[in-house]
Structures are given as C-alpha cells and as structure tokens.
Amino acid sequence: MSFVSLGLIDPLVRTLDALGYQTPTPVQAQAIPAVLAGRDVMAAAQTGTGKTAGFALPILQRLTMEGQAAPNTVRALVLVPTRELAEQVHQSFLAYGAGLPLRTHVAYGGVSINPQMMKLRKGLDLLVATPGRLLDLYRQNAVKFDQLQTLVLDEADRMLDLGFSRELDAVFAALPARRQTLLFSATFSDEIRAMAGKLLRDPLSIEVSPRNTTVKAIAQWIVPVDKKRKPELFMHLLKKKRWGQVLVFVKTRKGVDQLVETLEAHGVPADSIHGDKAQPARQRALERFKAGHAKILVATDVAARGLDIDDLPLVVNFDLPIVAEDYIHRTGRTGRAGASGEAVSLVCADEVVQLVAIEVLTGQTLERVDEAGFEPDHRVPVTNTRGEVVKKPKKPKKPKGDAAVSRLDVRFARR
C-alpha cells in the first residue's frame, strides 16, 4: 500500500516522500480515506504510530481543495490538552503542508494573546489550540466558527476528561452542529467512549492495537525503593548505568524543582517543564534537551503528551502517575516509530495502588528488580493483572496490615 493509493494529492505525496514517509502505518491506512470522505472517526492507536498524520494529511487536502477562510474564521480546528502538544501538532501540519497555499496558526495560554488575534484577522484555514485560549479568543470576537468544517480532538481521552469538560461544553456550544468530528488518542476508557458517542455521527471506529497497551519495543521494569531514598537511587542509577538522555516524570511541580536542584548540585545538566513555568521557558527547556545541552529533562504530566523527541532512549517514572492511563502516555515518549526504548519506575510502598492500576490497565505485570543497597524497608508486593497479591512482601514493617491484603482495590486509582 502507498500514500497515492489512499487518494492523497501529488503535492502531499511529494512532501511525504521528501520526509522519508514510504508506507502508511495501519492507523493512517484506515483513517486517511475515511477523513477524505468526510466521515467522523474515532481512532485509538499506540503512541508513536502516526496518528497525527492520520488526520493532518486528509485535512490539509480537503482545505486545499475546498475554498478559503473569511476574516476571523477558521475552517478546521484541532483541540489539544497541552501547550507542548499544540506546538508539536502545528509543526506537523506545517511540515506536511509545505508548499500548500494555506494559513495556519497555533493558540495557547501563557503567552500574549495579541499576536494570535492579529493572525486571525485575515482568517485561518487551520487553527491548533488549547480550549482555554480558544474560548478567550471567541469571547473577544477574535474567532468565528461560521465556516468550520472539521473539528479534531487530539489526545481525546484527556480532552474529554472532567478537567476539560466545562471548557469543552462551551466550545461545542459555539460550533456549528453540522461538522466533521475526529477523535484520536492512544487510550479510550469505556466512559470516554460513551461521552464521545454523543459527539460523533455514525463514526468509523479504528483500533489498530489492543486497547490500553504499551509499545512492545519498550523494556519496562520497576525498582522498589523507600520513598525518602528515591533521589539517592536515581543518582546512583544515573551513574552506574551511564544513562545519557533521560526524560523523568515527577508527580508535583515542587518535586520537579527539587530533583533538578539535586541534579545540578551533582553537576548534572538538567532542565524542567511544569505548569508554573511560562511557555517560553518550557519551550527553551525542551529545545535544550533535544539539542543535548541538558542531559536530564524533569517534568510533570504536562509533558506526558506532545513531546516528540527523536530516539529518546529512556523514560524514568520517579513517581508513578495518579491516573493509570498516563503511564501509557509517559512511556510512549520512548520507543516511537518502531524504535526500542526503556521505561524504569522507582516505586515505593505508598504507590502500590497506582502500580496495580497500571498493571490491570495494561494487562502486564511489571518486573520487580531490586537494586543492591537500596532494598526498601517497606516492601512492594508482587501482583498479577487482576490486582491480586501473588507474592507477599518480605520483612514488612507492619505485618498485620500487609498480611490482610489479598486483593488491591484499584477503582479509585483510575478515572
């Protein structure tokens, strides 16, 4: 199968050839013809499998073939949950649409709204935006949706999560009822699928890999450790294993800053991304990391989606995510486009519920690998993919509590 056989026009095919795209991925092969035909689509595929091209290429073609934008209007709208993902998706549109006569822009908070308003004055064929900033533009009459043809929710599971529900309700109320709607993500919970069913008309459902799975090319394991010794263990592993470029996920913004301080105190170049940092600073940190000027990038889950780093070898979960699905997105920063990668999690006894939720969600038990000299006093039990303890911890500090555990309740560790 080729991109030509999917119905793409010559300018797009030539650009793809120049970018080294030879054969469509499974999600692209199914999504591109459907989007070209105007169908609503709900697509789930592992991260790094080419989802962005799956909707960007046909949207670019339809925009090129069908009219132009009036002042202050947009013809295609892509909504994303984070600023980093907004930049990445827009850059993909620019790359795929090189040479096409289209006006595109990206809009998100944390930066001045004035340049975004100026770009919208002449109208845009495509706008990539976060919900909050889009609503700001709409309420200031800077953007109209009279001509909107296509709406895309990228990382749709997070976009439809309760944290975005109020903003999305306001956006949907402003959009025309007749439109093409596309939902793309790596994970879809049953609750999200039910909500999405209200937004789409007779959608084509695409699933090119088992639901809620991690990439097979990623080697994954955990290192049990007491919570207070996590920074010491990380520094030990960094030196012992001679880790090079590492993306580290930490639960809180304060924790991110503390780990960066520890790294810099040991002479390790590091930078950070989290919600308290201004967008220009976040972008500089990412660029420094990509260029190799910062060996370690420490981030909260704002970086779990939208960071596309070529050949990233290793992701470390310094803390496990509260929401199990975020583990899939975190680890998906490595092992992209068929490459191999590693994902290591430093897990303390306080995180057992989160760990089991991840194992239940992904259907795999993560191997426990003790590090000599860092064996925890508060042990992490071995569990199966049904959330059952199959090997009780040795030398528990509180035998009575540990002995009473036969099945871990993971209901509240998920959405």
| 379 within a domain of the structure (yes/no) | yes
- Lowest mean pLDDT: which of 217-221, 224-228, 238-242, 314-318? 217-221
Q: Where are the alpha helices (DSSP H) in 315-395?
A: 325-331, 352-362
- What are the tokens at 158? 């997070």
Statement: the pTM of the whole predicted model exceeds 0.75:
no
Q: Name the CA dihedral angle for 33, 36, 38, 41, rounded to a multiple of 10 degrees.
A: 50
**Local confidence band at 274 (pLDDT 50, 70, 90 cut-offs):** confident
Whole-number Å distance between alpha carbons of 205 and 181: 12
- 258 and 163 within one domain: no
> Is residue 113 located within the same domain as residue 17?
yes
Q: Indicate whether 364 belongs to any domain.
A: yes
Residue 213 lies in a domain: no
99 Ramachandran zone, left/alpha/beta (phi>0; psi -120 to 50): left
Q: Phi, psi at residue 207, to the nearest 5°?
A: -135, 110
20 belongs to a structural domain: yes
Range with the poorest average pLDDT among 58-62, 239-243, 338-342? 338-342
Domain shared by 312 and 400, yes or no: yes
Whether 212 is covered by a domain: the verdict is no
Confidence at residue 216, expressed as pLDDT on a 0 to 100 scale: 61
Residue 295 has what pLDDT? 86
| CATH code of the domain containing 289 | 3.40.50.300
One domain for residues 263 and 400: yes
* Per-residue confidence (pLDDT) for residue 402, from 0 to 100: 46
Confidence check: pLDDT of 397 > 70: no
Whole-angstrom Cα distance, residue 358 to residue 367?
13
For residues 50 and 73, state if they share a domain: yes
Burial label for 232, CB within 10 Å (0-12, 13-18, 19+), is middle
Question: What's 304's DSSP letter?
Answer: S
Q: What residues contact 301, with CB distance under 8 A and at least 6 apart? A: 249, 321, 326, 329, 330
pLDDT value of position 396: 46
Exposure on the CB side of residue 35, measured as CA atoms within 13 A: 34
Claim to verify: residue 146 and residue 168 sit in the same structural domain: yes
Angle 379-384-389 from CA coordinates, rounded to 5°: 45
Does the pLDDT of residue 220 top 70, yes or no?
yes
pLDDT band at 48 (very low <50, low <70, confident <90, very high): low
Q: Indicate whether 186 and 273 sit together in one domain.
A: no
In this structure, the answer to whether residues 162 and 284 fall within a common structural domain is no
Q: Which residue, of 147, 172, 207, is where some domain finishes? A: 207
Please, which residues bridge with residue 368 across strands? 222
In the DSSP assignment, the letter for residue 38 is T
What's the domain range around 174?
4-207
Cα–Cα–Cα angle for 185, 189, 190, rounded to 5 degrees: 130
Same domain for 100 and 202: yes
Residues ≥6 apart with Cβ < 8 Å to 177: none
At how many degrees (to 10) do helices 51-65 and 26-36 cross?
20
User: And the tokens for 117?
Assistant: 């308003």
Which is more confidently placed, 400 or 192?
Answer: 192
- Sign (positive or negative) of CA dihedral 243, 247, 252, 258: positive
Residues 137 and 186 in one domain: yes
One domain, residues 178 and 233 = no
Range scoring the smallest mean pLDDT among 25-29, 126-130, 279-283: 279-283
Residue 399: per-residue pLDDT: 43
> Does residue 200 share a domain with residue 284?
no
Measured distance CA(310)–CA(330) in Å, rounded: 15
Check if the beta carbon of residue 72 is closer than 8 Å to that of residue 120.
Answer: yes
Residue 24 pLDDT > 60: yes
The model's confidence at residue 174, banded by pLDDT at 50, 70 and 90, is very high
**Number of domains present in the structure of the chain:** 2
Q: Is the pLDDT of residue 311 over 90?
A: no
Pairing state of beta strands 41-44 and 104-107? Answer: unpaired
User: What's the mean pLDDT in 7-25?
Assistant: 90
